[in-house]
Amino acid sequence: MINQYDAFAYIADQLPQIKNDLLLRGQDGDIYRSMQVLTDYTKRMAIGHDFKMVEKCMSLVEKIYRKGTALVRNAVENIFIFSFSSMMSTCNPVEWRIIQSCMPSDLYLIYVKQVTCHSA
């Protein structure tokens, strides 16, 4: 199982370009802050049309989610997946379709569940 400290190290290892941000905002192992750094980076990549990096971030989050502890999974759902709606509002329909195609099915299903629960 991946705990919050393992997730921090895994993100820093897989995305060295955000390691400094992680160290500044998530150095105490706070998974919510670490996930927010990763979310912010993913959004920047989507806005910048770097969809290969968006796909890499999505894949990274999926691995963390699948193997994560309950705390880690909760952070992924409440920070990363919750941010999909704000990503959608900043993209045009074509960009949003590309981003959707980058989403692993597990993450997309959780997003759909969140949206349908909040709209009911």
- pLDDT at position 27 is 61
What percentage of the chain exceeds 70 in pLDDT? 95
pLDDT surpassing 80 at residue 10: yes
Residue 9: pLDDT band with limits 50, 70, 90: very high
pLDDT surpassing 70 at residue 119: no
- The whole-model pTM stands at 0.90
- pLDDT at position 115 is 83
- pLDDT at position 42 is 95
Taking a C-beta distance cutoff of 8 angstroms, is the pair 87, 57 a contact? no
Burial 41-59 (b: 16+ CB within 10 A, else e): bbbebbeeeeeebbbbbbe
Taking a C-beta distance cutoff of 8 angstroms, is the pair 43, 59 a contact? no
pLDDT surpassing 70 at residue 120: no
- pLDDT at position 26 is 59
Nearest-angstrom CA–CA distance, 42 and 54? 6
pLDDT tens string 84-101 = 888 888 888 898 899 989
